[in-house]
Structure 1
Amino acid sequence: MEYEAFWKIITYFYYIGGLLALLKIYQSVTSGIFKSDKRLDGQVVIVTGSNTGIGKAAALDFAKRGAKVILACRDLIKANEAKEEIIEISKNKNVVVRSLDLSSFASVRNFAKEIIATENRLDVLVNNAGVGGVDKKTEDGIEWGMQVNHYGHFLLTNLLIDLLKKSAPSRIVHVSSMIHKIGRLDFDNMKCERSKNGFMVYANCKLYNVIGSNEFARRLEGSGVTSNSLHPGVVNTEIMRHVPYLVRCIVNKLLQLFFKSPEEGAQTTIYLAVSDDVTNMSGKYFVDCQEASTISITEDREIGQKFWEKCCDIVGLKPEERFI
């Protein structure tokens, strides 16, 4: 019996390994690759969470294209290390680090104030930073992952709208996830006060990203500023750095072996920030450099309007700061 049980376990691992290998092949075959050599000379691009993973890969690409790239990061040590690496590889010295802690609305306001004071233009804002597996609240009383993944970016984008309009045509790129399709929107629980399920908190905030992106697009119609969201794929990044060590090690090894690299995961972000194909597209959702379908709630105008007002209240936007 023990012998049979042993071989059953081996067989299960064999099938799981086969499925993961097929997944890796599928990822490689279907991954969208943006191959344009378009330059971004004279443009200014902000990428949040750009000291590692998808954000760093995207920032390097923008630097190679000649843009001024602002690495908006909480960890300034890692950010400066990323800066030096990006400069060395791209040969573009116009890469700067700015302090941004999305878990603090005060930090977001200070960052936006500094950008407005020092930059004459902003051509692309990439809301990339993300976190998972953090079970605590921020200084603003919001679940940590929800604030970093959504509310911090929502406030930041609102505060930089005038600069984006001034620089039009300009673009806002929101890095969401396909997991948004299982997220839920509860207007009475938008801070996730009653939820302790980290997985659903993550799914909910990614849903908020898409709803918010679409509402930005509606409110910015005719301004020359576009807003689109995307799913980067399942990517080997450090987003799980806050989960328990053993779980993190297992997940990271699986990501390394079977899923996209940060460079592959950054392709749709780069596509939406650079490609002429999406110059006049706004309020869309993309996967592998192609427009993709999403769920109906993200397209509902009434829900979008109500969601917008609730978000404005939560992040503390004053009436005069609400651009529409």
Structure 2
Amino acid sequence: MNQLRTRQMVGKTVLVTGATGGIGKATAVGLAKMGAHVAITGRDAGRLGEAAREIRAAGGGPVDTFLADMSSQAEVRRLAGEVLGKYPRLDVLVNNVGGYWDSRHLTADGLERTFAVNYLAPFLLTNLLLERLKASAPARVVTVSSNVQAVGRIDFDDLQGEQKYSGSRAYNQSKFANILFSYELARRLQGSGVTANTLHPGVVNTGFGAGDPGTIQRIFVPFVRPLMKTPAKGAATSIHVASAPELEQVTGRFFANGRVRRSSAQSYDIAVAIRFWQVSAGLVGLPAST
């Protein structure tokens, strides 16, 4: 990578959620090395501070931290307020936060945790920061999804697994939801100078799902761990979509391995996306027309 390419984010402010480890931290490191002023979020103060020190050491520039439990809508709103109060401009938002829980947990808002953290948190945060992103255009919203979007479906009759819960089904639905959200956001932002794209980072060797692992995490993952991507390689597509000059006007796309890919057929259903946006807005207390 040439010197110009490595410093192409100088003067840009980037917020990466869920960046105390794994893909999020590696994304922040990569963008910091390009000269970006990086801000990260995390729910553990100790890990947040340690991650900031590592990112600062790797990138050499300023790194800001925001403590927030993204499962709580009140904390997402507080986070948005702090970000808006601190930064007169925001060039890139990377919605990286996510998790896997094999058993059903409820958040402080009474919502199923997988749905709340992986989908509703980025939906709410993005909408709360949208006017600042528009004012900073050209700007980008990058949302981390997964290839499991291909088997995910939106069950409007049981969005939060109250009738029948499966950790994998909840996770697959949340990642499909990220795709629908990103595409609908891109449609709503046409002409604004703000792009919205989503991506599959690959199968990455992190502590993902360790807090409440399913059968796959407990039995299968240890055998394939040597074949998984490192967090740095897993972050490569996030970094590319967040920074590549040639993508400044590319929007409403799904990326994998740094290239545009087709997502599942249902993800292009505009009627489903609009209905889901309206339901989501109701769940986070935003106007459906937002």
Deviation at 1:221, TM superposition (A): 0.4
Partner residue, 1:130: 98
Q: Secondary structure at the match of 1:98?
A: strand
Q: Normalising by structure 2, what TM-score?
A: 0.94
Tell me if structure 1 keeps the 8 A contact 2:146–2:175: yes
Question: What is the aligned length?
Answer: 286
**For 1:61, which of 30, 35, 39 is the aligned residue?**
30
Q: Which position in structure 2 is the counterpart of 1:113?
A: 81
The structure 2 residue matched to 1:148, chosen from 117, 123, 137, is: 117
Q: 1:135-171 CA deviation, whole Å, 9 max, x = no partner?
A: 2111111111111100111000000000100100000
Q: Confirm or deny that 1:225 pairs with 2:194.
A: yes
Q: Over aligned residues, Cα RMSD in angstroms?
A: 1.8
Q: CA deviation at 1:248?
A: 5.1
Match of 2:67 in 1: 99
Q: Deviations over 1:206-232 (max 9, x none)?
A: 000000000000000000000001001
**Alignment partner, residue 9 of structure 2:** 40
Preserved CA contact (<8 Å) 1:104 1:139: yes
State the distance in 2 between where 1:194 and 1:224 align: 42
Provide the residue aligned with 1:88 in structure 2: 57
Is residue 275 of structure 2 the alignment partner of residue 306 of structure 1?
yes
Report how far residue 290 of structure 1 moved: 0.3
Ranges in structure 2 where 5+ consecutive residues have no aligned partner: none
Q: Report how far residue 294 of structure 1 moved.
A: 1.1
Aligned equivalents of 1:91, 1:130: Cα separation in 2: 27
Q: Which runs of 4+ in 1 moved over 4 A?
A: 244-252
Counterpart position of 1:51: 20
Alpha carbons of structure 1 residues 144 and 278: separation in structure 2 relative to 1, 3 Å: same
- Evaluate the alpha carbon distance shift between residue 68 and residue 255 of structure 1 in structure 2; reply closer, same or farther with a 3 A threshold: farther
Name the counterpart of 2:133. 164
Are the equivalent residues in 2 in contact too, given 1:176–1:229 (CA < 8 A)? Answer: yes
Match in the other structure for 1:24: none
Question: Once the two structures are aligned, what percentage of the paired residues are identical?
Answer: 38
- Say which of 154, 166, 169 aligns to 1:200: 169
Question: Structure 1 length normalisation: TM-score?
Answer: 0.84
Give the deviation of 1:77 after TM superposition: 0.9
How far the C-alpha of 1:300 sits from its partner, in A, is 1.4
Change (3 A) 1:79 1:177: same
- Could you tell me how far 1:45 is from its partner in structure 2? 0.3
- Asked if 1:275 corresponds to 2:244, the answer is yes
Report the structure number with the largest CA radius of gyration. Answer: 1
Structure 1, unmatched stretches of 5+, are: 1-34
CA, structure 1 residues 287+42, in 2 after alignment: closer, same or farther (shift >3 Å)?
same
Q: Distance in 1 between matches of 2:224 and 2:118?
A: 21
Give yes or no for contact 2:6–2:33 (8 Å, CA) kept in 1: no
Deviation for aligned residue 1:187: 1.7
Is the 8 Å Cα contact of residues 63 and 90 (structure 1) preserved in structure 2?
Answer: yes
How far residue 179 of structure 1 moved from its aligned partner, in angstroms, is: 0.3
Change (3 A) 1:200 1:116: same
